[in-house]
């Protein structure tokens, strides 16, 4: 069963052993707001999402999508942002090239497999 943002926020709070009151103080809202958020009766703003992410030490993407971001992904993103614009474009072009090669190999393998079956 796929959990929603409200359930992921509650799970993150419990994992970090924070009370609803502690979270409320950090966010600058009252405890009732946290109760409403965790129950799915109140939406959060982008600023609140960023604050939850900071407090729970997980990415906003993980809170929103429920998929943790791996260390390799974070390292790639960090290093990518240290490059100038020209080098960033070269990296993007290389990624596209490698993806096209991979698709071609997979298509060839599938074709070879189909021929063996036939």
75 and 59, same structural domain?
no
Burial degree of 60 (CB within 10 A; 0-12, 13-18, 19+): middle
53 and 9, same structural domain?
yes
What would the DSSP string read from start to end of 9-46? HHHHHHHTT--HHHHHHHHTS-HHHHHHHHTTSS---H
What would the mean pLDDT of 92-103 be, rounded to a whole number? 95
Lowest mean pLDDT among 1-5, 31-35, 52-56, 88-92: 1-5
Q: What is the pLDDT of residue 117?
A: 65
d(CA 102, CA 97): 9
89 and 37, same structural domain?
no
58 and 76, same structural domain?
no
Q: Residue 76 — pLDDT band, cuts 50, 70, 90? A: confident
Q: Is the pTM of this model over 0.85?
A: no
30 and 9, same structural domain?
yes
CA 73 centroid distance within chain: 10
Q: Number of structural domains, the chain? A: 2
In this structure, what CATH number is given to the domain that contains residue 43? 1.10.260.40
93 and 48, same structural domain?
no
Q: What is the DSSP letter of 57?
A: T
87 and 51, same structural domain?
no
85 and 45, same structural domain?
no
**Contact predicate 18/55, CB 8 Å:** yes
d(CA 96, CA 16): 39
User: For residue 116, what are its two tokens?
Assistant: 């063996």
36 and 86, same structural domain?
no
61 and 76, same structural domain?
no
79 and 41, same structural domain?
no
What would the mean pLDDT of 78-95 be, rounded to a whole number? 93
76 and 61, same structural domain?
no
Domain that holds residue 97: 71-117
Q: Residue 1 — pLDDT band, cuts 50, 70, 90? A: very low
Position 71 pLDDT exceeds 90: no
User: For residue 50, what are its two tokens?
Assistant: 């960023």
Q: Residue 116 — pLDDT band, cuts 50, 70, 90? A: low
User: For residue 8, what are its two tokens?
Assistant: 């992921």
């Amino acid at each position: 069963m796929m959990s929603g943002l409200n359930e992921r926020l509650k799970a993150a709070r419990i994992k970090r052993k924070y009370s609803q009151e502690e979270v409320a103080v950090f966010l600058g809202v009252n405890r009732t707001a946290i109760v409403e958020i965790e129950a799915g009766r109140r939406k959060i703003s982008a600023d609140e999402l960023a604050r939850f992410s900071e407090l729970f030490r997980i990415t906003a993407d993980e809170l929103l999508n429920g998929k943790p971001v791996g260390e390799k992904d974070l390292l790639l993103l960090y290093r990518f942002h240290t490059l100038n614009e020209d080098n960033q474009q070269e990296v993007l072009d290389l990624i596209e090239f490698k993806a096209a090669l991979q698709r071609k190999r997979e298509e060839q393998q599938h074709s070879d497999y189909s021929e063996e079956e036939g």
